[in-house]
């Protein structure tokens, strides 16, 4: 439920919601199309950077797809096959376009969907099953 709170000193109204600052989750899957085993779950907070080679949050070189749930529109999720996310390696930038839950079935294509857009940078072409770092922006 939204509440409108008057701020008299400024003469404006602020819309407040209990979920306005809550982050969503990103669930990583071993198989394409959000199938097979879950290989990690990440809180989608801006600035969150997960190095899968040294973290217990996700398994290195396992993820082929992800389910995005409750993540704010315009959030960018960067998926890299290098643990330092070097731009000379494979990267997919997933831009959230909808607050709805959705599955990103593969990281290996540039695509525009109603819920998300993928901008893909390809260098050697293998990102599915080779994810080593995830960054939330």
Q: How far apart are CA 7 and CA 90, in angstroms?
A: 48
Mean pLDDT confidence for 41-45: 95
What pLDDT is recorded for position 44? 95
What pLDDT is recorded for position 14? 38
What pLDDT is recorded for position 30? 98
Q: Dump pLDDT digits (tens) for 2-25.
A: 444 444 444 433 333 333 444 899
Q: Dump pLDDT digits (tens) for 84-109.
A: 998 888 999 999 999 999 999 999 99
Could you tell me if 77 and 136 are in contact, meaning their C-beta atoms sit under 8 angstroms apart?
yes
The domains located in the chain, with CATH, are 23-136 (2.60.20.10)
Q: C-alpha dihedral over 18, 20, 23, 26, to 10 degrees?
A: 110
What pLDDT is recorded for position 89? 87
Nearest to 104 by CA among 49, 26, 37: 26
Q: Dump pLDDT digits (tens) for 104-131.
A: 999 999 999 999 999 998 887 789 999 9
What pLDDT is recorded for position 12? 38
């Amino acid at each position: 439920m939204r509440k409108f709170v008057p701020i008299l000193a400024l003469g404006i109204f602020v819309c407040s919601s209990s979920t306005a600052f809550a982050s969503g989750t990103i669930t990583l899957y071993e198989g394409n199309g959000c199938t097979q085993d879950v290989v990690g779950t990440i809180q989608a907070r801006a600035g969150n950077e997960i190095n899968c080679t040294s973290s217990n949050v996700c398994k290195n070189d396992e993820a082929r797809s992800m389910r995005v749930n409750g993540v704010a529109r315009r959030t960018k999720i960067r998926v890299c096959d290098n643990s330092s996310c070097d731009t000379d390696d494979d990267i997919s930038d997933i831009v959230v376009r909808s607050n709805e839950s959705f599955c990103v079935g593969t990281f290996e294509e540039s695509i525009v969907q109603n819920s998300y857009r993928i901008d893909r940078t390809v260098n050697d072409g293998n990102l599915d099953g080779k994810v080593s770092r995830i960054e939330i922006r």
